[in-house]
Structure 1
Amino acid sequence: MALAICMTMGSAPAKSMNNSNINTAHALPRILVLATGGTISGKKNEMSAIGYNAGGVTGQQLIEDIPELSKLAQINVEQIANIGSQDMNDDIWLRLAKRIQEVVARNEADGIVITHGTDTMEETAFFLDNVIHTDKPVILTGAMRPSTAISADGPGNLYEAIEVATNAKAKGHGVMIVMNDTIHSARWASKTHTTSVETFQSINAGPIGYVDPASVRFVQPPMLMDKRYPIPAAAPLPRVEILYAHSGMGASIINDLVKDGVKAIVLAGVGDGNSSKPVIDALNRAVKQGVIVVRSSRTGSGFVNRNVEVDDDKNSFVASYDLSPQKSRILLQILISNGKTKPSEIQTAFESGFEN
């Protein structure tokens, strides 16, 4: 059960009712912060010089520690979870999605900011981007250093995420990640470094904007909002597994997954989404048994195209185009949850997201 912690910032009493003294706090944008834990809420431990425990600080405490926010927005905080994002799961995804859609339907906020661990932030952002139906800003932010670190980056990231959420030009950009003075689209954002504060990069596309405490600048136009799916009804989402290709790879793991009832397999292939002949043959057999197969790449950038090194038409495979293995998995889970299981319609969904 989510613990709701509500606080309104910057509501000093008005001295009088004349135009010059009316309390301006009521005119500030309303921002809902949904806290889920992560490094931004972490506290240092003694394991190493950079060791920490995620989720040691609440979302309310994070907001209280940045008094400058009272000039930006009226802020409500709800604690959805308090975990390291390596433990993020389908249930929390659905709680976030349903709560955001409820907020939108009731017009409870002008923008939503989610505090989140960075390890799976791109996955949560991508899931929400595909199921949330709104033009209001929905932004994820976090930190690479815990709140107790000497050079903690969390306060600055949270301030700038709320700053973007209050900006009128942020509407229509879908779900975004704001980290290290940079605004990323959920479609393109990827964590690329284990410890650097510059870890998030927009692979194959570039950032959609930049932010500092004084300005918000978008360098890309708003996205089309017509390619979204209904929120899946309940957890767990359909089982989709990722296979990491490597030299000398055999087919036994694929055969075991099929026997175990997997719904879909994403191949994190070498190069342009390829693998050994035994693997491709086993994946072909899996398709004939009703398993969906998507070819992605382990390289980290570039596009996986149809029918280049692998005959996708013959094998009834799907090419992931720009989507990483982890994002391909999520899109498959959403599609299967919504009854889309034909390779042709799944391929169209992968292509449509890129064209958007």
Structure 2
Amino acid sequence: MMSKTSFTKYFLIAFTLMFISSGLSAGTFGSDGKKKGKEKKEELSADGPYVLYQPDGKTRVISVDKKGKIIDTTYVVLPEDFILHVVDHKGQFPFDVRLHPVKRPDWKYRQPEKVFVMSDPHGKLDCVISLLQGNGIIDKNYKWSFGNNHLMVIGDIFDRGKDVPQIFWLFYKLEDEATKAGGTVSFLLGNHEPLVLANDLRYTKDKYKVLAQKLNMNYPELFGPDTELGKWLGTRNTMQIIGRDLYVHAGLGKNFYDRNLSIPTVNEEMSKALFMNKKERRALSPLTAFLYGNDGPIWYRGLVRTDAKYHPMAQDSLQMVMERYKVKHIIVGHTIFKDISTFYDGKVIGVNVDNKENQKKKRGRALLIDKNTYFVVGDKGILQKL
């Protein structure tokens, strides 16, 4: 016969199992013990346009309006006056884009009177426009107003935000407008461009995955080599020099220096593997595997981090890198800081900040180089000398 103690024990076990089962069937429980329902999948919002060139010579243009409706049009031939209409995910900040020929920018540029440097916009068009307008880079109609000067964007438009293609289109448009005015717009590859193009979507907003699913496509196909933005991305540099400043998304370490690579070689090799997956990149060549690895230019943090795992750069090694490329500064994004920051006695400058937080707290958000003087700027112009 079962004892009273045993009966109580079995009763408690059965009750506990029943409680867990009912909790699992009804939903999950938060840290406060309250039941949570299933997470709502993110809905579509204004997006695109995406311009895809078909094997039969036709052009497919896909966009999503602010009500979440997909507009999918195929043209036998694009009209001569074809214009793309772009708005942010809420239907704001409207601007038009005309397609133009794309080619790889130079890897080295003269120092103009002014260079405006920003990085890691990560899908937040409102932050980009606020910064560019507040510093006279674009006007109230989102058109280039920086004359014959240079705008440098050090990578990472993909992921985290809801206006990814819109920001690509803005810089694509400004590149053409700047060229006509004698100026330059440069966008360098970051680490998130290769991540997304390799279908690594861990940081990608659900709205993009939902759109791809509805189109019966993989998300990277919307930016593939047979698309307009893909053609543009496929010709972007990874490293670039303006005057005596070298720009790269993450950094350059001793392992990079030991390979004795020219900047054009790095740019070409990175582009060769941009639309490959991780396995294909590793298999392409040892050089490609290195460039896309942790010690490569789009991932290496050792210029701004001292933890051993980042293989921090020794002062003399940094000097050797700078002498090889004949520069006085290396300017990077990638690693987030509370404000524009300097390292190695000012030789390395980190310009990646938390865009929303810095905008709210009126902290530094970009770097302005004006006649060889370096300034920290916010959304309303110069804040202080660096």
The normalised TM-score by structure 1 is 0.29
The normalised TM-score by structure 2 is 0.28
Structure number with greater Rg is 2
